[in-house]
Chain A
Amino acid sequence: MASLVFFYALAAVLLVAATGVITSRNPVFSVLFLVLAFVTSAFLWMLLEAEFLAIVLVLVYVGAVMVLFLFVVMMLDIKEAQLRAGFTRYAPFGIVLGLIMAAELIAALWLRGSQVPILASATPRQAGYSNTKMLGQVLYTEHVYAFELAAFLLLLAIVAAIVLTMRRRPGLKVQDVARQVAVRREDRVRLVKMQPETRQ
């Protein structure tokens, strides 16, 4: 009973936050609403006893990805009129995308629903059950190739991102840390012996 109340409360917050993402005028608020949406969906996963996934969602998306998003959005000088300009042009595209996603979700629910009763409440696991251990066992045995492939793709993406920043620009002043560290006192300071000046 209590978990049902929690579910509906969290789901309501999630829906409000998700609507906020697309309706708020200021992009910074959109990002903050998206953060709220991620946090509430993590709580929803927690209700399903998927605590590993829930915490990782907060850790990766809220703790790292959205921080960078916020970082970029705050730096951008976005004019509101500029944002509004393309709205009618892109609206049909957005609606079609939204409909496709909704259809996919419904199809997935309907297909799963015909085999397993997913809408019924999940049975609570026994005390010793560790979500993390189960996930690890499946990932590193059954799906190990897919897992490694995903890891390799991510590595490629990292390398690509770094390569993109490697372009040379003229007039850039870069500190050469190795040279800074290698500097000795003798290179910079010269001791000059001086006779004390005597007053005439």
Chain B
Amino acid sequence: MLTALSELLNHWLPPLLAEVVLVVIEIVPLLIVLILGVAFLTLAERKIIGFMQNRIGPNRVGPKGLLQPFADVIKLLLKEVVLPANANRFLFLVAPLLSITPALAAWAVVPLFPGFAIADIDAGLLYVLALTSLGVYGVIIAGWATNSKYALLGAMRSAAQIVAYEIAMGFALVGVLMAGGSLNLGAIVEAQQGGLQHWFLWPLFPLFLVYFISGVAETNRAPFDVAEGESEIVAGFHVEYSGVAFAVFFLAEYANMILISALTAVMFLGGWESPFAGLDVLGPLAAPGLHWLALKVCLFLFCFLWFRATFPRYRYDQIMRLGWKVFIPVTIVWIFVEGAMAVMRLGPWSA
């Protein structure tokens, strides 16, 4: 369908313009799905945590509370954006945009279904790592531009935390790239074909744990949410944000959660591959497709919510200790083990 569309566009438009139009046509549905995903993720969060705490959760707007996210969005859009008198106006307003852009731009290289990513680039893994590390600027700049002590403290905590966990994340990705033999995310998914037992989850189990937990820390989610720790620093970096500006920060946080879930699914759970691939008796169940990726993303998103409902917030020094003294050594050791196994031709990457 996409090739037919591109032929059609090439017929009517000059080649450069045709390419731009095609990419926009690919981006728009993805963005709409993402933003709807964020909207319903907020509802799911409140419902699931509600059930875990023996409450009902939102149930007033629409059937079973299904329209609650739209009510929230309309409320946020109609509210006034308050600018603190001593804030730096330009940076104060740019910061939310800086945090949402990388969260959305990273989706360009995520392989959505067999043979398709919006930008199927060679260095996809590096691109993802670079973009997820850019997200911290929104938080830091927001904290500084607000000109408030609480906000600055939140920004400082967030910066230190993200720098610490990014290294562990990067090392975990080195393991994935060694196993997949490529930096291209599509090729990494294809290296995991053949069903459940061929996923990188098994040989790279420690790296999988490190990557996902670091992902939780990078998105500033509970139990690593010291950057906004409401009991000590009120709301951290976004203490003075209101209305649309706050909504954009909110969107960025949830979009980042979906992104981390998708990346974990792509790199360790075989992305769009079916867990039953190879068992042809199951018919359509064994076929790869977007629905498998979506299902895996939902699984990880559920884990995000589950963590939030279960764990108390980490103390700051414990966060630093976990990042620097536990995760980084674990990843280094496992990369060494992986290298040794590859040299001795053991395990799935021996070919």
Contacts and interface: CB of A to CB of B under 8 A. Distances in A.
A48 interface: no
B155 to A, nearest CB: 7
B137 A132 contact: no
A129 to B, nearest CB: 9
Interface in B104-134: 121-123, 126-127, 129-130, 133-134
A52 B134 contact: no
Given A71-B140, A130-B122, A177-B321, A55 B127 contact: yes
Interface stretch (B160-168, B250-258, B275-283, B338-346): B160-168
B163 A58 contact: no
B163 A64 contact: yes
B166 A175 contact: no
B292 interface: no
B123 A52 contact: yes
Given A67-B137, A74-B140, A132-B183, A51 B123 contact: yes
A56 to B, nearest CB: 7
A63 B134 CA distance: 5
A131 interface: yes
A75 interface: yes
Contacts, number: 69
B214 to A, nearest CB: 14
A62 B144 CA distance: 18
B144 A132 contact: no
B159 interface: yes
Interface in B1-43: 16
Contact of B133 (A32, A51, A64, A75): A64
Nearest to A58: B130
A48 to B, nearest CB: 14
B152 interface: yes
Nearest to B91: A32
B335 interface: no
Given A55-B130, A131-B122, A177-B321, A64 B144 contact: no
Interface in B143-164: 144, 152, 155-156, 159-160, 162-163
B136 interface: yes
A2 interface: yes
A75 B156 contact: yes
A107 interface: no
B293 interface: no
A28 B144 contact: yes
Interface residues of B, number: 29
Interface residues of A, number: 24
Pick the most buried of A56, A70, A175: most chain B CB atoms within 10 A of its CB.
Answer: A70
Interface in B247-286: none
Contact of B126 (A59, A64, A70): A59
Contacts of B126: 52, 55-56, 59, 132
Contacts of A56: 126, 130
A68 interface: yes
A167 B282 CA distance: 64
Contacts of B136: 63, 67
Contact of B160 (A32, A71, A130): A71
B122 A71 contact: no
Nearest to A174: B317
B166 A64 contact: yes
Contacts of A28: 144
Contacts of B227: none
Interface string A74-116: 1100000000000000000000000000000000000000000
Contacts of A175: 317
Contacts of B318: 177
A35 interface: yes
A51 B130 contact: no
A35 B136 CA distance: 13
Contacts of B152: 74
Pick the most buried of A55, A62, A63: most chain B CB atoms within 10 A of its CB.
Answer: A63
Contacts of A70: 137, 140, 144, 159
Contacts of B321: 177
A35 B130 contact: no
Contacts of B141: 32
B166 A2 contact: no
A49 to B, nearest CB: 10
A58 B162 CA distance: 16
A162 to B, nearest CB: 11
20 contacts: A55-B127, A56-B126, A56-B130, A59-B130, A63-B136, A64-B133, A64-B166, A67-B136, A67-B137, A67-B159, A68-B159, A70-B140, A71-B140, A71-B156, A71-B159, A74-B140, A75-B156, A130-B122, A132-B126, A177-B318
